[in-house]
Chains A and B, each alone.
Chain A
């Protein structure tokens, strides 16, 4: 189990990286470099989220961003304390799932 888990972590880190280049590129461009979008408010976000593309991008960012970021934190923790591998993996999974659920609930507020 140990070996395959590490290999999956490595592989999914690459997959999420590739997805993030697309998702984050879109996100950054739309929110910072499209002039009309600079002013962010509830109604504006709600209007944007009428489009399925934005829901997919936002949900994709939430899941892939958290996975990639927390997996990266795991790599840094293992730099310092390699023995903590299994406990830190558990802690980070809990943080990740909690943050995903919380973020998803927020997305639902805009979709209501």
Chain B
């Protein structure tokens, strides 16, 4: 009954702690496993960013117009632009792979999960290539 209690991403969550261990030890690093671990890691990175983002935007709440403008100016530093670009990569992958997972929920493409993982990577690469110039222009 455990699955019914917490069926988040039923197929990928079945790995549990053994998934993390198996991935880090090597022998089962196949496409589906990469898809799973990248979804987990990008997800954690994004929620960490979201909490920081709420904090940073809330400078308007803590110190009004001045602190907000000061904070926004500080965030133009290259380090943060690179960080935002990494966030962009994480969001693009997580979103597109998320569509792959919902298709599996609907029982579509389960047997082609490996091919679909490559499709996810391909689509991500195209979107990332298209979006990267906007970040580059902030650096130069």
| Total chain A interface residues with beta-carbon distance under 8 A | 46
Contact B72 A40 (CB under 8 A): yes
| Total chain B interface residues with beta-carbon distance under 8 A | 44
Shortest distance in angstroms between B15's beta carbon and chain A's nearest beta carbon?
7
Residue of B nearest to A80 (CB): B17
Give the residues in chain B near A24, CB-CB below 8 Å.
Answer: 91, 95
Contact A79 B17 (CB under 8 A): yes
User: Does A56 lie at the interface of the complex (its beta carbon under 8 Å from any beta carbon of B)?
Assistant: no
Set A5, A41, A82, A105: member contacting B72, Cβ < 8 A: A41
Contact A72 B47 (CB under 8 A): yes
What residues make up the interface of A, taking CB atoms closer than 8 Å to B? 2-3, 5-7, 9-10, 13-14, 17-18, 20-21, 24, 28, 32-33, 38, 40-43, 45, 62, 65-66, 69-76, 78-80, 82, 85, 99, 102-103, 105-106, 109-110
9 nearest A-B residue pairs (beta carbon): A69-B47, A6-B5, A106-B61, A42-B65, A106-B58, A6-B6, A75-B8, A72-B43, A10-B7
